[in-house]
Amino acid sequence: MTTLLHIKSSLFGDDGKSNLLATEFIEQWQNKQTDGQVVVRDVISNSTSHLDASILTAFMTPEAERTTAQQVITDHSDALINEICEADLIVIGVPMYNFGIPSQMKAYLDHIARAGITFKYTDTGPVGLLEDKPVYLFATRGGMYRDSGIDFQVPFMTQFLNFIGLSSIDTIYAEGLNMGSVAETSLAAAKTQITAAVN
């Protein structure tokens, strides 16, 4: 059985454009993978605490020395990491808000970045420790930002995923979604890319 992990981060839930596009990809994928399993991680409706000193301290404390509260924190992080490890492919819907990703997505990623577990530092720099697998990133934004120098959404997501070992990333953009007729053209192009990606 093939497992697809769907990570959702639109503040508008299933009506968000990033979720609608990701869902279309998943539906087409399921038509081809009839025995495929979909696991959903909604970082908005089931948000993760933003990083603070107590969380970071828990991550840095050896397992044998953790308090009960620290173990609860690391157990949650471990569960999030295991979802990624157990998936065969990952679909991420991420909208742009004020030039970057939703803060809830950043909080989720902060619980994924664990030294010695998802990455390590070496004499030549950081090395991702997760096994690479296909990642489909659905990036939606109200304006036109691709390759503009002020896009802090896709470059950040790509950098983070590479950092933990996930480098096989296919990004599907839907831009200009608040720009009238541009939105229709952009969404149509994204749907064409979805069909090509699935096939």
Whether the Cβ atoms of residue 89 and residue 131 lie closer than 8 Å to each other = no
Residue 8 has pLDDT above 90, yes or no: yes
Position 178, amino acid:
N
Distance in angstroms (rounded) separating the CA atoms of residues 91 and 138: 8
| 130-154 confidence digits (pLDDT tens) | 999 999 999 999 999 998 888 999 9
Pairing of strands 119-122, 125-128: antiparallel
Average pLDDT over residues 23-29: 97
**CATH classification code of 3-198:** 3.40.50.360
Place of tokens 């979805």: 194
Grade residue 72 by pLDDT with cuts at 50, 70 and 90.
Answer: very high
Backbone phi and psi for residue 12, each to the nearest 5 degrees, phi listed first: -100, 15
Mean pLDDT of the chain: 96
Position 1, amino acid:
M
- What pLDDT score does 1 carry? 86
| 86-129 confidence digits (pLDDT tens) | 999 999 999 999 999 999 999 999 999 999 999 999 999 999 99
Residue 80 has pLDDT above 90, yes or no: yes
Whether the Cβ atoms of residue 1 and residue 37 lie closer than 8 Å to each other = yes
Residue 157 has pLDDT above 90, yes or no: yes
